[in-house]
Each structure stands twice: as C-alpha cells, then as structure tokens.
Amino acid sequence: MSENYEQQPVQQVQPPQIVYMQQPPSPKYSGMCIAGFITSFFLTLLPLIFCIVGISECNKYHYRGAGLGIAGLTITILKVGFVALTLLMSY
C-alpha cells in the first residue's frame, strides 16, 4: 500500500517583536519668562520687556512658562504703580 502524502509547507513561528515608542520631547521653558520673573523683583523696565517677549514666545512656539511671565508682569506693574503712588504722595 502506497499512500500518497502531500507535504504541507512548514509555518515558521516568528518571535513577538518589541516595539519601542519614543516619547515626545517635553516642551522647553521660555528663558525670557524666567528672566522676566526673576528680574521683576530687582528692576523696573527690563522685566516688563522680558515678560512681554516671553509670553509672546510661549504662545508662538508653545513653550512652557507663560505663568511665570504673567506673574513677572503683574509684579512689575504693581511695583511701578506703588512707586508712582509713592512719588505722587510725597509732593
């Protein structure tokens, strides 16, 4: 008895592949906002410029740190108002 067996193709089992997903880079902080916030405690005009440019930079390039820019801007405006009020009251 001769039986005719057909050879079936052998299926090779592939090991599971590990897929590594890259994390998106974290957004950078705006150096202008940080500089504006720090200098707002010591200077008057320069932090105003730094904060305005920094907030604009945060909106344009999606940087982090806009809150620091807003805080520095607020501190600077309050300080200018206090100095102006003090000068007006002294005369």
Q: For 32-59, write each residue's pLDDT tens digit.
A: 999 999 999 999 899 999 999 999 999 9
Q: Whole-angstrom Cα distance, residue 9 to residue 27?
A: 52
Q: Which helix (H) or strand (E) holds 36?
A: helix 31-39
Residue 72 pLDDT greater than 80, yes or no: yes
| pLDDT for 13 | 79
Question: Could you tell me which residues come within 8 angstroms of residue 88 by beta carbon, excluding any fewer than 6 positions away?
Answer: none
Q: Is pLDDT larger for residue 46 or for residue 5?
A: 46
One-letter amino acid for residue 63 of the chain? Y
The pLDDT > 70 percentage for the chain reads: 95
Rg (CA), the chain: 32
pTM tops 0.75, yes or no: no
Whole-number pLDDT of residue 2: 61
- Segment holding 37, helix H or strand E: helix 31-39
